[in-house]
A and B are shown apart, each in its own frame.
Chain A
């Protein structure tokens, strides 16, 4: 992450290629019930326990739009600085599959609920804007389970009908790093908004990745391949890397790239052809006659806009302005709503800059080690703020603070209690320090002489002795001052 110029290019035999990436992200809408039915949407429920007659497409069943899902899509659109369309439509995308009970997916084809928008990425080489083409609502399909039985396939319809937002980017991404930053930014925005939990392990966030390559300097896009349904950022990056190299390899050999849909094999780390353009489904899209066109009043959009929480870009700006953080620090601290909340709580009660440094250092390292979310941190924000204040006031030294921190993690106690019970308070009484230092200087007369005759490196030795003598509690700044004074005399 330290590169300050963009340099992701694939070298062919003679030419240098640029990689063009566009993403279709499928984000599960956070809502208690499905897009067109009242069934629950909880993850991990017993198979087929969250399925209504509508989700399983019984004869005569009709879809009724879930207003909360509409609101969530609008909120997300607003979070992406996008145009909310007052008129949109639901269409049927027709295809047969065992886990698609209706024989069609209700989606939005020509008239999506959200139009063009943009997302800002902070890359090491500067900020970059990624265009959003559109966001539309659609139903998820069920799940076919092929490995439960050697001869049959089982179908779980719990996911069938759950609301998804498909967020289509413009082909503005140029490297796996940018894809990483883009997905994380999308996820941050949606988590701030509460519109998608962004949990990739549970399948709440998946993406189809469109990849093409072109010679550096070319204006025209190359032929793209779509890699379907990739469910982790790491896999997306690996798939892009592989696919770009594959395409460059073909071009080097003078071959053409065929437009096709490919799958990423996570075991072999390669993409494989799934179907060519000729085999592409004809989805026979047409407006769903069971649903009326979706009209959204401007008032609803305005109301939702007013009730939006502060979004990461704005929060970052505020953190820089109010707390004196640099861009990098602010970025890290707004990356998750919970982190930013924790920071603000700490910053209010202690030194803002020191709090940021300690959070991004020791606190994150510890959470990372334990695999914990900040919301599960063994150190509550209030205690953490006390620790920062103890450092700031000189009550304890930075070195001791690390010990206190460890003890806070272990015991859950507040730092005051730990410092007091273990007598870890910093020795900041000048008289006492002078006494200790005089004792050490007396004991080491020879070294004092050496120092005086020019061996100034020995200063560190004296400091070390003071620390040893004081059990590490001597105030380092004060120790330095007194030592210098006494050594001169």
Chain B
């Protein structure tokens, strides 16, 4: 039975539908594995009694017509879950229990999934290594001294270590795709507005987007189908009909035009990444795709633009954590201002404070035009680059990250080098486009590396199809030994 947890989500769904395994048995396998995998620190909160209870209920009255029948799932601790602690990886929300459920998780439960627990993440999703979490860093099952990436590091780690058959994360500048790349898993950031942001602890509202993290492209299509949908409670949600991504998944990509942007060939990029990219090109070419060289000239401004826009929005979004209504409140201070200062000084970690300071600065009068306004203009140019090229190509292929998983502590004192990790992922968030990271190979240390496929607005089906075809022909194998057990 234990090999069940090595299986992909789609295979597990088949087992349940064929009644070869019951939800309760399946749930027990994941609970047992989680209990033996505490070293990885993937979980912040577990709710195993609840999961077992719900699994039993499912088995009594199973509905096999749903997308995720009786499947236990752990989710990033940025999604508010009714009755279960939602911390956002912060001391500020250490004991915060929402009385409401995020739209995206609610959609999963409606499709039959059951909550296993809440997965570790960088504090308020600000980080690229899961080292900014108040609940400690997460270990990448790939190697005991490496980070899983971030901010959805707990999600990536839990998925790669088979603690959950699939999971969800959020991606503001690469927080799904980079950890997916670091752990040899699939991660998709949907078009901005495809998945509701309602009930997700906000980081940067114009960039935040929830998405699936899975072990295969097919799993990814199932999860996306379950999560996505218009939500009138989110004013930026896109009104459109639900799509059947899993049913429409196909691996025939003959004649599809794939763009290769020259600006993604950055300085000091490891040779392995270059080789991986070339390998990706040739696989797609062999499958009948046309490879087209393209130019996205404003790419080099994406990272600085991102690090103005995201902190600006964050500085405002995080103002609500003031100790007045919920969450942490410092016991020190003799008036309102001191209470604020102490609460926020003690409740937020360094990276969060750094970004609040940057954001406050770039929005200040006298600096607004030079920073925030200019960044918004550059953002439009970056979007225009993509729009123009998508008149010529159907998808764009790039590396997901400039390196494989780095060592724990390696970049914690060097924020700039940490931020550089997002160099290939942030342009997509700025443009609001969908992009998927698919595992493509291993570096010489045996650490996984991913390639990114960027699609047109709401063209998730197309990049899923290309990724699906690529996956079938790439023969990537994640060589994770369960060394922590």
Contact = CB atoms under 8 A, between A and B. Distances in A.
A in complex with B: yes
B320 A102 contact: yes
Given A60-B200, A284-B316, A284-B360, A290 B88 contact: no
Contact of B205 (A96, A285, A290): A290
A221 B201 CA distance: 48
Nearest to A60: B199
A57 B234 CA distance: 15
Q: For chain B, which range describes its interface: under 10, 10 to 19, 20 to 34, or 35 or more residues?
A: 35 or more
A103 B326 contact: no
A92 interface: yes
Contacts of A65: 235
A62 B206 CA distance: 12
B381 interface: no
A259 B282 CA distance: 69
Contact of B319 (A56, A64, A94, A155): A94
Most buried by B among A97, A103, A155: A103
A102 B86 CA distance: 19
A160 to B, nearest CB: 11
Contact of A104 (B99, B202, B235, B316): B316
Q: Specify which of A59, A282, A292 lies most central, judged by the most chain B CB atoms within 10 Å of its CB.
A: A59
A145 interface: no
Given A53-B100, A101-B325, A60 B235 contact: no
Contacts of B320: 57, 59, 101-103
A103 B322 contact: yes
B419 interface: no
B10 to A, nearest CB: 30
Given A155-B324, A289-B206, A59 B96 contact: yes
B236 A94 contact: no
Nearest to B340: A96
B372 A60 contact: no
Contacts of A104: 316, 319
Interface stretch (B215-223, B241-249, B362-370): B362-370
A92 B100 contact: no
Interface string B428-452: 0000000000000000000000000
B485 interface: no
A60 B316 contact: no
Contacts of A63: 235
Given A62-B233, A102-B319, A286-B363, A56 B206 contact: no
A56 B321 CA distance: 11
B232 interface: yes
Contact of B202 (A59, A94, A98, A286): A59
B94 to A, nearest CB: 13
A458 B364 CA distance: 88
A305 B86 CA distance: 48
Contacts of B102: 60
B319 A282 contact: no
A14 B293 CA distance: 80
Contacts of B324: 98, 101, 155
B291 interface: no
A290 B208 CA distance: 11
A469 interface: no
Given A284-B363, A286-B368, A290-B205, A92 B316 contact: yes
A97 B322 CA distance: 9
Interface in B69-127: 80, 86, 88, 93, 96, 98-100, 102
Interface string A37-80: 00000000000000001001111111111000000000000000
B313 interface: yes
Nearest to B309: A289
B312 interface: yes
Given A101-B324, A289-B205, A62 B198 contact: yes
A103 B316 contact: yes
A354 to B, nearest CB: 58
B341 to A, nearest CB: 10
B336 interface: yes
Question: In this complex, which of A62, A103, A282 has the most chain B Cβ atoms within 10 angstroms of its Cβ?
Answer: A62
Nearest to A98: B324
A58 B93 CA distance: 11
Contacts of B364: 282, 284
A94 B363 contact: yes
Contacts of B312: 286
B201 A56 contact: no
B302 to A, nearest CB: 18
Nearest to A281: B365
Interface string A388-423: 000000000000000000000000000000000000
B365 A96 contact: no
Contacts of A64: 232-235
A147 to B, nearest CB: 16
B197 interface: yes
B319 A103 contact: yes
Q: Which residue, B96, B235, B340, B365, has most C-beta atoms of chain A within 10 A?
A: B235
A283 B320 CA distance: 15
A298 B261 CA distance: 43
Nearest to B327: A59
Given A57-B325, A59-B88, A59-B201, A94 B235 contact: no
Contacts of B236: 289-292
A153 interface: yes
B235 A153 contact: no
Nearest to B336: A98
Contact of B325 (A56, A97, A292): A56
Nearest to B197: A62
A60 B319 contact: no
A292 B199 CA distance: 18
Interface in B122-154: none
Which of B99, B206, B325, B340 has the most chain A CB within a 10 Å cutoff?
Answer: B325
Contacts of A292: 235-236
Contacts of B315: 94, 284
Contacts of A97: 336
Nearest to A102: B320
Interface string B201-216: 1101110000000000
Interface in B355-404: 360, 363-365, 368, 372
A182 to B, nearest CB: 31
A291 B236 CA distance: 7
Contacts of B322: 96, 98, 103
Contacts of A56: 325
A58 B197 CA distance: 13
Contacts of B198: 60-62
A104 B321 CA distance: 12
Contacts of B99: 53
Given A284-B364, A291-B235, A58 B316 contact: no
B100 A289 contact: no
Contacts of B100: 53, 58, 60
Given A94-B319, A96-B319, A153-B336, A289 B313 contact: yes
A127 B183 CA distance: 76
A64 to B, nearest CB: 5
Given A96-B319, A96-B340, A62 B98 contact: no
B336 A59 contact: no
A58 B326 contact: yes
28 contacts: A53-B99, A56-B325, A59-B80, A59-B86, A59-B88, A59-B93, A60-B80, A60-B197, A60-B198, A60-B200, A60-B202, A62-B233, A62-B235, A96-B322, A96-B340, A97-B336, A98-B336, A103-B318, A103-B320, A153-B336, A282-B365, A284-B368, A285-B363, A286-B363, A289-B204, A289-B236, A289-B313, A291-B235
Interface of A: 53, 56-65, 92, 94, 96-98, 101-104, 153, 155, 282, 284-286, 289-292
Given A62-B234, A64-B232, A64-B234, 7 more contacts: A58-B325, A60-B102, A101-B324, A104-B319, A153-B336, A282-B364, A290-B235
**Among all A-B residue pairs, the 8 with the closest Cβ atoms:** A103-B319, A289-B205, A284-B363, A289-B206, A60-B199, A57-B320, A59-B201, A60-B80
